[in-house]
Structure 1
């Protein structure tokens, strides 16, 4: 009987941790996507100083979350996000609007894809 109770409690803890993980990834990626939207609007208007300020905020947010994300998701995705942030930084530095906007769109896709990929669904299981 104790083994059954222990197994049930362990199962509930694992499922709870799984849901917490998805919520955490969704919230933090949503925050970063909001910053990306602000960067995109600033780049579109040619307001490079504002874009650099939002990029700095995005970089700080990423550095704060990266340690936890690296525990939860594939390291290739971490590398893709870091590479994309570096590309955006360089494109904004040289004031290249088309390349900046394209890289922002790619990073947005990465950030929105990760919580969907970690969510418990039949598609992710199969």
Structure 2
């Protein structure tokens, strides 16, 4: 009987630890994704106004930020999702470098979608568990 109580107590502690860890992970994903999305929105505005140098500056900064964030996100989420973000970011960068407005806007919108999708996908919900 005493052993069973220890097992139940230990299991409860592990379960609570997992829930707390998931909460911190979700906060981190929301924070970093909102930073990236804000950068993408700025780049999009510059592209719409054909301010290519400003758009380049923002997209290069976004690439640097993504390089720092990517390693941490790789521990948390599906690598296919990370690959989608990386490919879209590289496409957006190339289209901005070559001043191709429609393609740049499309790539930025795809990038925004992929980034905003991650926190939703990783959120602790019953539908994500089962």
TM-score, structure 2 as length reference: 0.92
Describe the superposition over 1:56-85 as per-residue Cα deviations: whole angstroms up to 9, x where unpaired: 111111011111100101111111111001
Shift of 1:124: 2.0
Q: Give the corresponding residue for 2:80.
A: 76
1:85 aligns with 2:81: no
Matches within 5 A, 1:16-95: 16-95=20-99
Q: Give the corresponding residue for 1:122.
A: 126
Shift of 1:9: 1.1
**Residues 43 and 55, structure 2, Cα contact 8 Å, conserved in 1:** yes
In the alignment, structure 1 segments of 5+ residues that lack a partner are none
Give, in whole Å, the separation in 1 of the partners of 2:120 and 2:127.
10
SS of residue paired to 1:95: coil
TM-score, structure 1 as length reference: 0.95
In the alignment, structure 2 segments of 5+ residues that lack a partner are none
For the aligned residue pairs, the C-alpha RMSD in angstroms reads 1.0
Describe the superposition over 1:12-55 as per-residue Cα deviations: whole angstroms up to 9, x where unpaired: 11111111111111110110000000000000010010001111
Give, in whole Å, the separation in 2 of the partners of 1:37 and 1:95.
17
